[in-house]
A and B are shown apart, each in its own frame.
Chain A
Amino acid sequence: MKNYLLACFLMLIASVMVFAQERTVSGRVTDQETGEGIPGVNILLQGTTSGSVTDIDGNYTVTVPSGETTLLFSYVGYKTQAIVVGNQTAINVSLESDVTALSEIVVTGYGTQEKREITSSVASVKADDFNQGNVNDPAQLIQGKVAGLSISKPGGDPNGSYDIRLRGLSTVGENTQPLVVIDGIIGGSLANVDPSDIESIDVLKDGSAAAIYGTRGSSGVILVTTKSGEEGRFDVDYNGYIALESVAKTVPVMDATEWRALSAETGQGTDLGSSTDWFKETTRTAAQQTHNLSLSGGTKNTSYRASMNYRDAQGVAINTGFKRLNARLNLQQKAINDKLTLTLNVAGTWNKSEYGWTDAFRYATIYNPTAPVRSNDPAYDIWDGYFNQVLFDYYNPVQILEQNPNDGKDTRVNLALRGAYEIIGGLTVDAFYSLQSENFLRGSYRDKNSFWVGRDRNGLARRELDDAFNQLFETTVNWNGDIGGSTNMTVLGGYSYQEFVNEGFHAEGGDFISDFFTYNSLQAGLDFPNGLGEIESYKNSSKLIAFFGRVNVNINEIYFISASVRQEGSTLFGEENKWGTFPAISGGVELANFLGAASVDNLKFRVSYGITGNLPPDPYLSLLRLGPGANFFYQGEYVPGFGPASNANPDLAWEKKGELNIGIDFAFAGSKIFGSFDYYTRTTTDLLFEYGVPVPPNLFNTAWVNVGEIKNSGLELALTWNAVQRANFNYSTTITPTYYLKNDLISLSGEFQGETLTYGSRELGAMGAPGQSDVPTTKAEEGAPIGQIWTQVYEGISPTGDLILQDTDGNETVDDADRQVTGNGLPKFEFGWANTFSFGKNWDLNIFFRAVIGHDLLNTFRAFYEVPNIINSYNTLKSSADLRNDSTGALLNNSSGVLSSLHVENASFFALDNMNLGYNFNLPDGAAFRRIRVYLAGNNLFYITGYEGVDPNPRYSDGDNPLIPGIDRRNTWFRTRTFSLGVNLGF
Chain B
Amino acid sequence: MKRSLLLGKVFLVGLFVTVFNQSCTNLDEELYSEVTPDNFFKNEEQFVAALGEAYGRLQNYASNDPYSLDEVSTDEMVVPTRGQDWDDGGDWRRFHLHAWTVENGGLNGSWSFGFQGVNSCNRLIAQFQTLVDEGAVEQASADAFIAELKVLRGFFYWKLIDWFGDVPLTLDFATAEAQPSRTPRAEVFNTIVADLETEVPKLPDAVDGTTYGRMNRWAGYALLANMYLNAEVYTGTAQWAKASAACDQIINSGKYSLESDYFANFNVNNSGSSEFIFAIPYDQVFFTEFNLIMRTLHYGSQDTYNLTAQPWNGYCTLEEFYNSYADGDRRKGGVGTVDGPYAGRGNFLAGYQFKSNGDPVTDDGFEQPNPDRTPEPLLGDPDQAHLNFGNMGSGRPQIHELGPQALRQDGIRIGKWEFGQGATNNMSNDRAVFRYGHILLIKAEAEWRQGNTAEALTYVNQIRQRADVPDLTTLDGPLSFDIAGGTEDGGELFNELGREMFAESYRRMDMIRWGYFTRVEDWVIPFYNPQDVLILDEYTNLYPVPKAQEDSNPNLLPRNAGY
Contact = CB atoms under 8 A, between A and B. Distances in A.
Nearest to A807: B531
Interface string A368-398: 0000000000000000000001111000000
A234 interface: no
Q: Give 9 closest A-B pairs by Cβ, nearest first.
A: A632-B52, A630-B56, A641-B52, A643-B53, A771-B87, A696-B176, A389-B364, A539-B32, A633-B213
Interface string A692-709: 111111110100000000
Given A473-B19, A774-B89, 4 more contacts: A390-B363, A433-B15, A543-B26, A771-B83
Contact of B29 (A620, A638, A641): A620
A269 B51 CA distance: 55
Nearest to B172: A696
A454 B554 CA distance: 48
Contact of A643 (B18, B50, B405): B50
A620 B30 CA distance: 9
B51 A632 contact: yes
A895 interface: yes
A641 B57 CA distance: 10
A241 B364 CA distance: 49
B24 interface: yes
Contacts of B170: 696
A895 B363 contact: no
Interface residues of B, number: 111
A717 to B, nearest CB: 42
Contacts of A390: 299-300, 302, 362-365
A702 to B, nearest CB: 11
Contacts, number: 303
A578 B25 CA distance: 10
B45 interface: yes
Interface stretch (A73-81, A317-325, A835-843, A866-874): A866-874
A516 interface: no
A631 B309 CA distance: 23
Interface stretch (B4-12, B186-194, B446-454, B480-488): B4-12
A495 B89 contact: no
A287 interface: no
Interface stretch (B158-166, B283-291, B318-326, B512-520): B283-291
B372 A870 contact: no
A640 B364 CA distance: 43
Contacts of B57: 629-630
A458 B302 CA distance: 13
Contacts of B19: 473, 497
A214 B116 CA distance: 39
Given A697-B176, A771-B85, A872 B367 contact: yes
B552 A893 contact: no
Nearest to A340: B8
A777 B363 CA distance: 32
A864 B87 CA distance: 12
A619 B29 CA distance: 8
Nearest to A622: B29
Interface of B: 1, 4-5, 8, 11-12, 15-16, 18-19, 22, 24-37, 40, 45-46, 48-59, 81, 83-91, 101, 103, 105, 112, 115-116, 119-120, 122-123, 170, 173, 176-179, 209-210, 212-214, 281, 283-287, 299-300, 302, 307-310, 312-313, 362-374, 383, 404-405, 424, 530-531, 533, 548, 551-554
A596 interface: no
B299 to A, nearest CB: 5
13 contacts: A390-B300, A390-B364, A473-B18, A543-B26, A626-B37, A630-B287, A633-B287, A642-B52, A692-B552, A813-B531, A864-B84, A872-B365, A890-B372
B83 to A, nearest CB: 5
Interface stretch (A112-120, A754-762, A853-861, A914-922): A754-762
A814 B24 contact: no
Contacts of A537: 33
A623 interface: yes
Interface residues of A, number: 112
Given A495-B24, A694-B553, A771 B12 contact: no
A429 interface: yes
Contacts of B54: 641
A731 B451 CA distance: 103
A638 B286 contact: yes
B5 A336 contact: yes
B84 A696 contact: no
A190 interface: no
A229 to B, nearest CB: 21
Contacts of A456: 302, 307-310
A632 B49 contact: yes
Contacts of B115: 695
Interface in A707-764: 753, 755, 757-758, 760, 762
Centre residue among B25, B52, B312 by max chain A CB count within 10 A? B52
B368 A457 contact: no
Contacts of A538: 32-33
Nearest to B49: A642
A268 B370 contact: yes
A893 B529 CA distance: 11
A890 B371 CA distance: 12
Nearest to B382: A270
Centre residue among A694, A815, A894 by max chain B CB count within 10 A? A694
Given A431-B12, A632-B52, A762 B553 contact: no
Contacts of A532: 284-285, 308, 424
Contacts of B283: 638
Given A390-B299, A623-B29, A775-B89, A895 B84 contact: yes
A280 interface: no
Contacts of A539: 32-33
A642 B85 contact: no
A462 B25 CA distance: 41
A773 B88 contact: yes
Given A569-B27, A625-B36, A640-B49, A771 B84 contact: yes
Contacts of A481: none
A419 interface: yes
